[in-house]
Structure 1
Amino acid sequence: MSQSSPQPNFDIPLGGRYEIISQLGAGGFGQTFLVQDLHLPGHPRCVVKKLLPQKNDTENLEMARRLFDTEAKVLYKLGSHDQIPRLLAHFEQHQEFYLAQEFVEGAPLSKELLEGQPWQQEQVLTLLQDILQILAFVHQQQVIHRDIKPANLIRRRKDDRIVLIDFGAVKQVSTQCVNSDTELTDMTISIGTQGFIPNEQLAGKPRYSSDVYAVGIIGIWALTGIHPKHLKDDPRTGEINWRDRATFASRELIDVLEQMVRYDFRDRYPTAIEALGALRSLPSDMIKSLPPPSPMPQPVLEVIHAERPYLPSTPDLIEVEPELEPTSLWLHNDSTTHTLTIAHATDSIAPTQPMMNGNGSAVQTVAAKVPQKRRFPIWRGLAVLAMGTGAAAAAIFALEPAGLRRAKEQPLNPVQTMASSLIGLFPEQEAIELMRNGNQLREAGQYQDALTAYDKALELRSDLAEAYWGRCSILNALEQPNEALVACNDALAIDPQYAEAIVGKGKALEQQRRYIEALRLYEYATAVNPQLADAWIAQGMALQTLERSAEALTALERGIGLNRESAEAWSARASALWNLRRYNEAIASLDKALQLDPNEPNARALRQKAREDLGR
């Protein structure tokens, strides 16, 4: 199929940057390596995937290069979701194409789905919600995954959440070629795995609902313990016969899964957004144990000009993978083999039908940067980012890796971080990376450097609510409430329901002794995001300042229930208990506060008072 790939020299870093530790996998689309990034402090690990064009003549290489750049942009956008590996870099070396992505430790879902071992209904519901929340974000970006299967769903070790990997679109880079006789493009469009792809995808016309079908098949497998290859179709209708195998499942869940896997794509939920909405609309006694829905990440905004590649009407190769462990990136696996079939292909990465909103009407795509809401529930009908395919200038994305989450464990060098890691970025991407650097520096207490990073990010993109909030947080810490108010108001002008910015504004008002106004903001923040511990803690502390100790205690205990590591919260709780004459509980709370932070000033003062007044 594709040209043979020589083994790389493990002694020479890929792209002059990524030192190979080991090979994770190899297959028809390329090879995958575990590497360490020599350009970043601590040499964090990541994964590099090498993609090989089918032919290496000039025409095919140029087409592969354009396609590679476009798909890299798509992966960069998708990586803003916490459950999709972040794209760190993409580059070309010796006419071979490389993607560097976040390294995710975990095991594929295929290790959990075992023949003859059905899951409990509650487990199935949790799994479906986790997958559909990720996929709803993907569909918002007008991207079809095209290879949803258990091997491409990784159970992340650190938190047991599902991570979606191995987007099928990137495999086009390895399989497209130009027909030397007709000078037309032969492009592999239908990519997937037998048992998980519906008929329209086999015909080379994938749709959003093709991904929904695959998720439904996984749900049926989990619910029944029966591998998809053992499920039979009704010869009259083409529908899958499985209801009688789901002995212990509720009728309502069965109905949702049946609509997800309908033979005709027009009878399925059109996107993951509607499928997730149906799941969340199940009877309350069924979904009460589900974890709260994850907030939608702020999308990466970037204009990509809609410039579709030529797609022929002649038959194209369709790559159908048998069920295998991941071709990528995270776990060791054996070499893969592929089966070729023939069909007509007319679609590229974006589907031909318009994206539908929650009301079933078409959403017009946009082709310009616009401020986006930061958070909102994903099943309520959402705005869509434009994501046309197109050719982009080749560039090396020297993006900071997912080691951002591990930043506290590594020494920070602001000059190195902000100078060396941003070379070659587009302005929109550079703004995002500067903001992330600012977040790192703020968390490390390097406030002036953080403010510089935020200011530079906002010069490039003025719609970054998180950067304004970062400024607000720092200015509050520096006891500059007037400037903090301006920054938080800027954040709220972009996203009026940005709970962290609402709390930040409240803290600035408190410094101005405007306690009642601050309290109202904290109450609003807890209504917007009931899971934000800082909002409850700030509300409790404001109430305690106003000597409303009983109410303060209630709010503080909500906050401590969400974050037990806040010495400030334990100290304020102790003050409230002391005022309520619950001295034993107050002393225990003080001891906890001082255990977390021996220098917490209010806790130290009250603890001394307890010794003087109570003798203990």
Structure 2
Amino acid sequence: MIGKLLDRRYRIVKFLGSGSFGHTYLAIDTRRPGNPQCVIKHILPKQKEPKAIIAARRRFLREAQILEKLGKHDQIPMLLAYFESKQEFCLVEEFIPGHSLDSELVPGQPLSEDEVICLLQEVLEILVFVHGQQVIHRDVTPKNLIRRASDAKLVLIDFGAVKEITGEWSEGQSTRTIATGTPAYMPLEQFRGHPQFNSDIYALGAIAIQALTGVTAKELPKLKKSGGTPWRARAQVSQQLADIIDKMVHDDYTQRYQSAKEVLEDLRKIIATSEESQPPPTILYFPQTPPQLPGLGLQYWWYSELADSLLRRLAWIGVATVVSGGLFLAFQNQTYIKARELAERGARRALAGDHLGAIDDYTQALILSPNNAELYNNRGKARYALNDADGAVEDYSRAIQINPNNADAYENRCIAKQLLQRFEEALSDCTRTIQLQPERFTAYKNRCSVYFQLGAMERALADCSRAIELNPNDAGAYANRGMVLNTLKREREALADLTRALELMPKNAEFYKQRGTVYFRLGDYQNAIADFSQALQLNPNDAGAWSNRGSARYNLGQFQEAIADFTRALALVPDSEATYYNRGKALAHLGDKSRAKTDFQKAAQLCLDKGLTVCYNNSQFEIQKLQ
């Protein structure tokens, strides 16, 4: 067959496989520009008698009509053509570039629960559409799920064994059929020739067990024994998901889920619970008016940082609320499909750092789904990442208006309002988050930040301590409490907390910088320099770390090295009055009065521009000393 031209148009280029009804080939369409690839399913009637051929032709035309309807779905190959030649039948289908799910299920390497939930949800949504067309696939297997290269979506292929349930079918009874499929994924009723709609659900449940346990297809039957669930012992899985899967693969189809829609509804409950417990974006460092370090008046900063834990969950989980009545209506609603695609792309762009692109996608999705709180929440996070705190607050407020119990939106708004220095309002939002979810450790950590900025150090300390009680392995909570303790002049305790933070997160430049400031206050300049140097190895563009190390070197009398560090800091932040002041002090110690005077003058001007009277007077005093 290789090289043969079918229907004077389709040239066979590769044999792909064979099934119970014939062979499958890769072909090129010689009549279309660029000769695009397609898949040819060559159906060979087993009998050549006239009556058998007539029956085969009737079945072929019926299956072609079914495939034509199914191909309207974005995640099912499109039927391009069908024809008969010499009493043999051919289906021409869209070729899907990509790889099979089978290649992702590596023996001994189980997938995570979140990955399996996403897999189940995506395939179930396809099955809702398929079953809605009164079609049973009968061979849902990893090899028949293709991860499309263009967008990484799963595509369900190989409907060669489909059987349309006609008027001959009645409730609880289907016409006996040939037992086709892949044994490891087939339920008993399918072996007996009586496939049900939920036979496909059984197959998908078996795939989920394979994915969670990391076993091979041959090992699957051993893990599915009547009266027991031995597969659970080999999987890291919650009881909720395990219960769903066990119901999917129940031997008795009457005790199994009766529709893909029912499975989706139970999955949505797990997703909703996961969203409530997922740590929201947090502030690891307190944005504040920089304090003065002893000795030189050196400034240091505590930065705010938005974690991306929520962005890593694909936004379409939230977009599911677009369709009233549940996900099972999704593929009858093109608006929902488009909104979901936009939300997914927005999430991917945000993770890649393309926050402007993410905002554009979320905005378009909101046009299609204007009452979706999660879309507003995600767009707010993208705006915050671009330092558009006002825009972020606007989006979080809209999310709260839609869902007044949205703890994520309250906490995110608390974070954004801190950036706007609206601390009393931020305090209210963080407190509301805690009221909604009293065990949410990130809310205590963020309220600790607000109290710090309001000067309520003991309350800040209490909240950071509560965050650590709720999650003793959160590095950010230890770092925050360390800086509160440092402000309270409890430096030794602060060192212990910051050291613990570094044990939990050893590659965090900010933690090294903060511990360096504590050593500085203790007069341990060598250790301070070591920590600032480590911070700079991890982040050489941190102006605060350059300036801080310069200050420590100044206090050790290393004036040339201090000047070099201050100069690097000014190259990164050229309007820092404190760094000009500090470099001026070092230059003055070396007797370079001219350059020292220039730096003090620059510092004085910056202080004046910023309304910093004490800073201006100190700079003027140093200038007078040089006269």
TM-score interval, normalised by the smaller of the two chains: 0.3 to 0.5
Q: What is the TM-score of this pair, normalised by structure 1?
A: 0.45
Q: Which has the larger radius of gyration?
A: 2
